Amino acid sequence: MSNSTAATEAGSLDPRTPVLVGVGQSSERIEDPGYRRRSPVDLAADAAREALGDTGADPGAIAAAIDTVAGVRQFEISTPGASAPLGRSSNYPRSVARRVGASPARAILEVAGGQGPQHLVNELAAAIAAGTCQAALVFGSEAISTAQHLAKAEDRPDFTEEIDGDLEDRGYGLKGLSSRHLATHGLTDAPSQYALFDNARRARLGLTRENYARAMGELFAPFTKVAAANPHASAPVERTAAELVEVTEKNRLIAAPYTRYIVARDKVNQGAAVLLTSVAAARRLGIPQDKWVFLHGHADLRERDLMHRQDLSRGPASVAAARHALEVAGVTVDDLATIDLYSCFPIPVFNICDGLGLDPADPRGLTLTGGLPFFGGAGNNYSMHAIAETVHRLRALPGAFGLVGANGGTMSKYSVGVYSTTPAEWRADRSADLQAEIDAMDAPGQALQADGWATIETWTVKYHRNGARTGIVIGRLDADGRRFIAKAAADDTELLDRLSTGDPAGSRVYARSFGTGNRVTVTDTRMDELFPPRPAVLRDDYEHVLVRRDGHLLEITINRPDVRNSLHPQANEELDEVFDAYFADPDLWVAILTGAGDKAFSAGNDLVYSASGKPMWVPKNGFAGLTSRRRLPKPVIAAVNGYAMGGGCEIALACHLVVADTTARFALSEVKVGLVAGAGGLIRLPRTVPPKIAHDMILTGRRLTAEEALHYGLVNRVVNAGTALEGARRLAAEILDGSPTSVRLSLEVMTETAGLADAVDAIEASSPTLDELMTTEDAVEGLTAFAQKRRPNWRNR
């Protein structure tokens, strides 16, 4: 299209049509001469000034016209508790705006994720088209290399800034991107998660490890050539395909199949910015039309959460987003002159190539920057650089089209833009309709606790600097096809070797669940060798628990009075072991659980231990070995002396009976420390006390006295201060006076019918338990003793 034709078409555009009018990039490397130790705000401001100057108009006038600024989150503000060793701005978008002389009415801090730059362009272009925005400056930056380089320097700079002004902080946006369950099994880093996808793809294609490694090297070798010529690249070194994947001392394995050279590089000092305006604003500000680039197509889609995806070798949402953006633009893949695909690892690039029919060796190339492993990750902001490069290329190729694909999370969020200098009115997309289709896709069932024979679906091995290996497996249970995640035991060399060589996908393994997560190995026999079954018998001594046996009564005391009997993993494990032994011993008929000292029954989770950074876990049977047991087949009495707070209250709720002394206080206090009562309190409390009282306790942390707890049905009996254990013993004696068989089977019937809302339905429900009762020795003994007017001699059988 000729410049005169484009000008004619541009003259007929709706004045609200959005247009990109300026782009800028900045960078510095710590080893370069003239290194200036720029902060993230400085780098973004440098790029923003370049974007203003790139318009060809008066930068001051343009800065004054900006009504919206939007910042992409740095890594140091992308997760709760993330470190900023040199300090940070309290309002990053307005810090940058202030440096370039802008005073916007609106400031946005976007959610974390590499989709952010393209998503913000899509969103703000739509706002301009709707008339709610006239000029928007979008930017992002990272100074991770500087932060790490200077963190311990005596003359380190202070990047702290306290900036006033409104901020639309959208939060971290991490929902669905991780979970405690995945983290428990080692999926805490991007390389190991993406490695699962690449290994699943290799298995689907039937390629050997060597052939797949060669394909990854051949994919990324052209990227290194682009990076070598890019003045902003953090690693401007051209490498061969073989060099990228050959394991050497410098190019060690990170997470199979990835070597260090082919994973995203986040140690960068880079910034980039994009300026969007309406056509009317561009004309008013005197921005030449040869600077204008239009957003012809766009889409934003989200993939299902990792464990809910049908096929871990594919990312259908990413492909659908790319296809739809091309559809909105009215072009095909063949019409593209430039392409930049988010390339943190090979799989996001392979995925789009597979879905769009692109040859990974396409002569047009798949990156304009050099890609994340070589140009540099720039945190969440990589694709802002890709947009900037696209704008420059398309201005030099009037009428040509370029595509930018931006990926966030674990191939979770994908935003796409299709650009051209060819004038085009704003076109709405159908991302919401497509998202509904993706959300409705079938998902495999998930087994949080995996037990039994299974088949490996995908896997990776993480290689640590100390030589240790962590094997991670996603598999399907043979019994019902449910998907699960598991780790290999650290000393399971047989399985780790299998995962490190050959083709593990499709091979059979054996899984078993523990409080520390699921484990998997080669056979059930090997599982027993690695994790010998724990005998369900009482030991002579415990470190955190006292145990006293008195005939048919078992007394269990949490013995951590110095921390108000709060529980850490080791104490929980001991309690779990004790209760296993209690429920398995036919000569133990009633158990009492109490806390040492007179200050607390239990203050719940040991928060000091939790904050120490040491490994945290809870037994499969839950807090204190009780809160997650599906059934407690024999009576457990809580003797509450002092505080039953948080998890301590949840333990009491899980017990059948509660005896409290007058000093007792009950509370679910988790909201006071930013947590929730996740060990059953949110479920059991509203079923125990009136709902309004439960809501009050859960939402405010309100404490109930012993008398209040008795009134509302949380407690069975209240006794004098310091006599909770004696009161519990008296209650236990009353239970022991009856048939242990009757007690045990009564609990079983109550458990069986707990889910039946209608009393008549519950009464009429056929229960084999009642039939069992009539054949027990205790039933015969009880009736005989009654007739003979003597005390029964109970046998518990």
Q: Which residues does the annotation mark as catalytic?
A: 650, 670
For residue 97, the Cα-to-chain-centroid distance in whole angstroms is: 32
What are the b/e assignments for 273-303, b being 16+ CB within 10 Å? Answer: bbbbbbbbbbebbebebebbbbbbbbbbbbb
- The span from the first CA to the last CA of the chain, in angstroms, equals 93
As a whole number of angstroms, the distance between CA 737 and CA 417 comes to 77
Q: Are 405 and 382 in contact (CB under 8 A)?
A: no
Strands 253-255 and 483-487 turn out to be: unpaired
Amino acid at 113: G
Single-letter amino acid, residue 739: S
CA–CA separation, 750 and 767 (whole Å): 11
Please provide residue 269's backbone torsions phi and psi, each rounded to the nearest 5 degrees.
Answer: -125, 95
Helix ranges (DSSP H) in 251-345: 279-284, 316-329
Q: Exposed, middle or buried, 678 (CB in 10 Å: 0-12/13-18/19+)?
A: middle
| CB-neighbour burial class of residue 396 (10 A; exposed 0-12, middle 13-18, buried 19+) | exposed
Residue with tokens 């254990």: 725
SS3 category, 768:
helix
> Would you call the peptide bond into 257 cis, given omega within 30 degrees of 0 as the criterion?
yes
Going by their DSSP bridges, the two strands 294-302 and 253-255 should be labelled as unpaired
- From CA 738, how far away is CA 761, in angstroms rounded? 28
Q: Decide if 595 contacts 652 (C-beta within 8 A).
A: no
* Element of type H or E holding 520: strand 517-521
Task: Tally the residues of the chain.
Answer: 797
Nearest to 687 by CA among 699, 695, 679: 695
